Amino acid sequence: MNRSEAERRIEELTAAIRHHEYLYYVKNEPEISDAEFDQLMLELKRLEEQFPDLRRPDSPTQRVGGAPAPEFAKVPHQPPMYSLDNAFSEEDLRDFDRRVREGLGGEPVEYVCELKIDGLSISLRYEDGLFVQGATRGDGQTGEDVTENLRTIGSLPLRVEPAGRPVPPRLIVRGEAYMEKRVLEELNAALAEQGKPLLQNPRNAAAGGLRQKDPRKTRERRLDTFLYQVVDAEELGFTDHWSCLQQLEAWRFKVNPYRQLCRSIDEVLEWVESWRERRFELPYEIDGLVIKVNSLAQQRRLGFTSKFPRWAIAYKFPAEERETTVLGISLDVGRTGVVTPTADLAPVRIAGTTVKRATLHNEDYIREKDIRIGDTVVIRKAGEIIPEVVRVVLEKRPADAVPWQFPKTCPACGGELVRLEGEAATRCTNSLCPAQQYRAILHFASRDAMNIEGLGEALVQALLDKGLIADAADLYRLHERREELLGLERMGEKSVENLLAAIDATRQNPLHRLIFALGIRHVGERAARLLADHFGSMEAIEKASLDELLAIPGLGPKIAESVQAFFASPRSHQLLAKLRAAGVNMVGERKTGPAEGPLAGMTVVVTGTLSRWGRKEIEELIRQLGGKAAGSVSKKTSFVLAGESPGSKLAKAQELGIPVLTEEEFYNRYVQE
């Protein structure tokens, strides 16, 4: 790779890593696995080592962690909470050992080996033995004050009593907040029953739990902790890390029992190998192992790079892959009619669970990988959570295996399946398809739509099976069928009463919630709000022409055409008539008058990654300040709010001469009182 190619690749990697850092650290919505992210970072690091003059001060390799979220007060960390450099092989660990011994002039070295808990790093401060403040890691320099949320965790002592040695007047300890796998399963079972989105994995569930505004919501997540560091330990009289762990236990902090004191790198490697399979037997997730120099004096002499301690490293296990057989390919029908193929697999144990199915996404995916029934395939778990097919083992393909053909009819209703030009998805065209109705009703009742508490997957299916409902509007007539509801499994008097009350409470929901709940193709929460604000009533939207829809800033032709098609459908007219008859609110506040607030009359376009707000949060804030959040830059744009990696919208703004504000400028000018 020449210098020009390296420069271009470094720019691509930097943009990708920043995107995934934002999803991971700020939004808690990762799109790729840890292993895939590590490979991106490793490639960037190697290119920068090969072309050091291309390393930029703002490169992801120079950053310790992510930015703190805006909901909580900021807490400075002193000393900083450093991240760890990564090792992926025996060679990497031996190289780490060589650097340590060279840095210490050949002195003997002991290592402490610990599990790397997959949760959220925390720092706890105690004054005279009393817990006074807890913070997340944030960007390593500054974290978020989550004291009240941490108080809800039973394993975290609110007071530390002397044991073995006195408790210092000021004590700072650090560790990890996490969620056990069984807790995640139990919470997800309850969420599924209510028709709510599931928690993605234990790490994100723990992070989201600690960032709840209401500590009672945190308590519901049933988080736990492991503590592993005493800050300023040498100044407190400790001589080695192993003693710190023992003292933390004596002070009744929860310390992970799976740790090892090793007197050579060979012993470290033996310990690492012992955890390759054992890790899946743990009741919690780990994302690697941590190896630290034991002596605190040696740690001090080795010091830090600008990003990592030189005396510690994290070993990351390679993504586990297994071979299995494709027994069949089944089809699932979504609420918009999209038909998704899924591989039915011979059961195989991978990453601690038995896998029997893996999504195949769409027809193109199957064709590109040439997946056939009877094939031996290699599978892995993306992020050690979602099973995916990596490749087909062609040398093991049966002689009678034939290319799989997408069916022409829907598996749920027998309706015609079509694939529109330019789309990857195949859809069922029958709007009365029972599978679509099931998904549509679940969407209607979901949290961001009408938010009907207690109406989960099992109950919706039971209501459909018993003929109590045919569509979402029928939910509002269930009070007429109370006796039949009582005959359903697990539906006693109290359950029926709660369900009917929850349904009734949604009749007066804001108009934008109902629009989103209708499940109009391409219409998300933002577009639903735009429609509600612009037209002010469902009747006005129904009568709107395509030109009127296209005139709404930020709506776009694809959404406008989809909205018009939906309201032109006789099926939609019937559904809306039933909802009106049930007394569901069809009117909103049309925002045509002069807006109030510092952004009154302004149109703002947001681009790039912001550290203070997520995309939904900043758009809502702009509305609260009297402005309009638009999706594209035009001559009507008042200014562009640009975060990291802003992309083409920034270039368009500069081309049109539209003002561009940084996040800090926007905050100081319009938000800060």
Q: Tokens at residue 444, please?
A: 């209607």
Q: Give the mean pLDDT of 375-386.
A: 76
Long-range contacts of 388-396 (CB under 8 A, 24+ apart): 388/358, 388/359, 389/343, 389/358, 389/360, 390/321, 393/323
Give residue 26's pLDDT band: very low, low, confident or very high (50, 70, 90): very low
Specify if 593 maps to a domain: no
User: Do residues 458 and 484 both lie within one domain?
Assistant: yes
Provide the pLDDT for residue 196. Answer: 64
Provide the β-strand partners of residue 377. Answer: 324, 392
For residue 64, name the pLDDT band (cuts at 50, 70, 90): very low
109 and 203 share a domain? yes
Per-position DSSP letters for 91-140, written without gaps between them: HHHHHHHHHHHHHTTT----EEEEEEESSEEEEEEEETTEEEEEEE-TTS
Contact 117, 284 (CB under 8 A): yes
**Residue 24 maps to which CATH number?**
1.10.287.610
Q: What is the mean pLDDT of residues 115-129?
A: 93
- Whether residue 385 is predicted with pLDDT greater than 60 in this model: the reply is no
DSSP annotation of 382 reads E
Q: What is the mean pLDDT of residues 100-111?
A: 94
The span from the CA of 141 to the CA of 74, in Å, is 10
Do 306 and 350 lie in one domain? The reply is no
User: Does residue 242 sit in the same domain as residue 290?
Assistant: yes
Instruction: Determine the residue type at 647.
Output: G
| Averaged pLDDT for residues 630-645 | 85
Q: How many CB atoms lie within 10 A of CB 381?
A: 20
The conformation of residue 197, written as its DSSP 8-state character, comes to P
Choice among 256-270, 589-603, 615-629 with the minimum mean pLDDT: 589-603
463 with 489, same domain: the answer is yes
Residue 395 has pLDDT above 90, yes or no: yes
CB-side exposure of 346: number of CA atoms within 13 Å?
11
Choose between 663 and 400: higher pLDDT: 400
Count CB atoms within 10 A of the CB of residue 302.
Answer: 18
19-33, 38-52, 403-417, 490-504: least confident range = 19-33
CA 284 to the chain's CA centroid: 18
The reply to whether 426 falls in a domain is no
Reference 258, options 230, 228, 233; nearest CA is: 228
Which of 641, 632, 638, 630 minimizes the C-alpha distance to 666? 641
Using alpha carbons, list the distances in angstroms from residue 176 to 79, 227, 415.
17, 6, 52
615 plus 646 within the same structural domain: yes
Kindly report the CATH number assigned to the domain that includes residue 341. Answer: 2.40.50.140
Do 134 and 227 sit in the same domain of this protein? yes
Can you point out the beta strands (E) in 199-307?
A: 224-230, 259-262, 286-293
Section 13-22 average pLDDT = 75
pLDDT mean over 245-259? 92
- What backbone phi and psi angles, to 5 degrees, belong to 201? -160, 170
Please write the tens of the pLDDT for every residue from 459-480: 999 999 899 999 999 999 999 9
Between β-strands 170-178 and 386-392, what pairing exists: parallel, antiparallel or unpaired? Answer: unpaired
User: Is 138:281 a contact under the CB 8 Å cutoff?
Assistant: no
Distance CA 428, CA 615 (A): 32
In the chain, the percentage of residues whose pLDDT exceeds 70 is 93
Give me the pLDDT at residue 179, please: 92
C-alpha distances (whole Å) from 512 to each of 476, 485, 509, 534 are 19, 30, 8, 11
Largest Cα span, the chain: 84
Residue 598 burial class via C-beta count within 10 angstroms: exposed 0-12, middle 13-18, buried 19 and up: exposed
Determine how many CB atoms are found less than 10 A away from the CB of residue 333. 25
pLDDT for 453 beyond 80 = yes
| Confidence class for position 8, pLDDT limits 50, 70, 90 | confident
Q: Are residues 301 and 164 in the same domain?
A: yes
The answer to whether the beta carbons of residues 649 and 604 sit under 8 Å apart is no
Q: What is the pLDDT of residues 294-307, one digit of tens each?
A: 999 999 999 988 77
63, pLDDT greater than 60: no
**For residue 625, what pLDDT band results from cuts at 50, 70 and 90?**
confident
Confidence of residue 264 (pLDDT cuts 50, 70, 90): very high
Q: Does some domain include residue 164?
A: yes
Q: Across-strand partners of 603? A: 628
Domain range spanning residue 400? 321-418
| Boundary-marking domain end, from 315, 338, 354 | 315
Task: For residue range 499-557, list pLDDT tens digits in order.
Answer: 999 999 999 999 999 999 999 988 888 789 889 988 999 999 999 999 999 888 767 78
Query: In this structure, are 251 and 311 located in the same domain?
Result: yes
% the chain with pLDDT above 90: 44
| Nearest alpha carbon to residue 382 among 441, 428, 321 | 321
116 is catalytic: yes
611 DSSP 8-state letter: S
Look at the chain and report how many structural domains it folds into: 6
Closest CA to 174 of 300, 82, 99: 82
pLDDT given at position 485: 93
Residues 276, 152 within the same domain: yes
Q: Is the pLDDT of residue 229 over 70?
A: yes
Q: Where among 364, 390, 418 does a domain terminate?
A: 418
Higher pLDDT, 14 or 265: 265
Name which of 295, 217, 283 is nearest 256 in CA terms. Answer: 283
The pLDDT of residue 417 is above 80: yes
Token pair in block for residue 91: 């060679």
Q: Are 228 and 177 within 8 A, CB to CB?
A: no
For residue range 137-190, list pLDDT tens digits in order.
887 888 888 888 898 888 888 888 888 889 999 999 999 999 998 888 888 877
| Domain endpoint, select from 505, 522, 557 | 505
Catalytic residue among 116, 196, 316, 628: 116
**How many residues in the chain?**
673
Residue 595 lies in a domain: no
Q: Place 400 in a pLDDT band, splitting at 50, 70 and 90.
A: very high
CATH number at residue 565: 1.10.150.20
| Number of neighbours of residue 13 by Cβ within 10 angstroms | 21
Average pLDDT (30-42) is 78
Residue 530 lies in a domain: yes
**What's the token pair of residue 181?**
């796998």
pLDDT at 29 over 90: no
pLDDT at 424: 82
State mean pLDDT over 573-600. 81
- Quick check: 590 pLDDT over 90? no
pLDDT at 68 over 60: no
User: Per-residue confidence at 596, pLDDT binned at 50, 70, 90?
Assistant: low
* Within-domain flag for 588: no
Mean pLDDT of the chain: 86
Residues 410 and 438 in one domain: no
pLDDT number for residue 107: 93
Residues 533, 652: one domain?
A: no
- Whether this prediction's pTM lies above 0.75 is answered by no
Asked if residue 260 belongs to a domain, the reply is: yes
Q: What average pLDDT does the segment 494-499 reach?
A: 92
Q: Is residue 265 part of a domain?
A: yes
